[in-house]
């Protein structure tokens, strides 16, 4: 089966992750989608290859590095390609619902985990620059910054 003809998007991902102290009152008004995520490759150096189905969109993503700034390459794949690769992620999967909450010029992505991770709620914020990242003042409903805490990384949640 040939790969989808879309060229990979490359980016320098800069993001912070927070525990959510309290969900925003108007949470249900914001766009949301179910996400199934599994890992094909996980290396100690921070390299990971991830499969994701978010609504009807499927993707294959390579991430490299650790911390708030990492390299990322992503290609869109077909649902059929996702289904062929999905069994290879057995034992390294998670499910969550993601809400996109606007906050000034940014979007706060709130992830409410399911299954064995039920009860965990985190928020991720992506930034244009490291300066913007470090100067970010989170809203009161966000809790502790866990960007550097492996316990709350998707890879840990998918494998433990």
Mean pLDDT for 78-82 is: 97
pLDDT of residue 8: 56
pLDDT of residue 119: 96
pLDDT of residue 21: 96
Confidence of residue 2 (pLDDT cuts 50, 70, 90): very low
Q: How does the average pLDDT of the chain come out, rounded?
A: 90
Those residues with Cβ within 8 angstroms of residue 17's Cβ, 6 or more apart along the chain or in another chain? 122, 123, 124, 145, 146, 147, 152
Is the pLDDT higher at 114 or at 148? 114
pLDDT in tens, 34-70: 999 999 998 888 889 999 999 899 999 998 877 777 7
Which residues are tagged catalytic?
39
pLDDT of residue 51: 98
pLDDT of residue 65: 77
Is the pLDDT assigned to residue 137 strictly greater than 90? Answer: yes
Is the pLDDT assigned to residue 94 strictly greater than 90? Answer: yes
Mean pLDDT for 67-82 is: 89
Mean pLDDT for 78-106 is: 97
pLDDT of residue 45: 82
């Amino acid at each position: 089966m040939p790969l989808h003809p879309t060229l990979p998007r490359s980016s320098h991902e800069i993001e912070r992750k927070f525990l959510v102290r309290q969900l925003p009152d108007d949470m249900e008004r914001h766009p949301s989608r179910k996400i199934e995520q599994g890992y094909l490759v996980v290396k100690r150096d921070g390299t990971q290859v991830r499969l994701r189905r978010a609504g009807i969109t499927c993707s294959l993503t390579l991430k490299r590095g650790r911390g708030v700034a990492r390299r990322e390459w992503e290609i869109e794949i077909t649902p059929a390609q996702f289904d062929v690769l999905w069994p290879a992620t057995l034992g390294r999967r998670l499910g969550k619902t993601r809400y996109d909450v606007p906050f000034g010029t940014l979007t706060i992505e709130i992830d409410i985990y399911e299954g064995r991770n039920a009860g965990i709620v985190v928020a991720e914020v992506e930034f244009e620059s490291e300066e913007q990242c470090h100067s970010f003042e989170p809203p009161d409903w966000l809790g502790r910054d866990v960007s550097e805490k492996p316990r709350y990384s998707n890879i840990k949640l998918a494998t433990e």
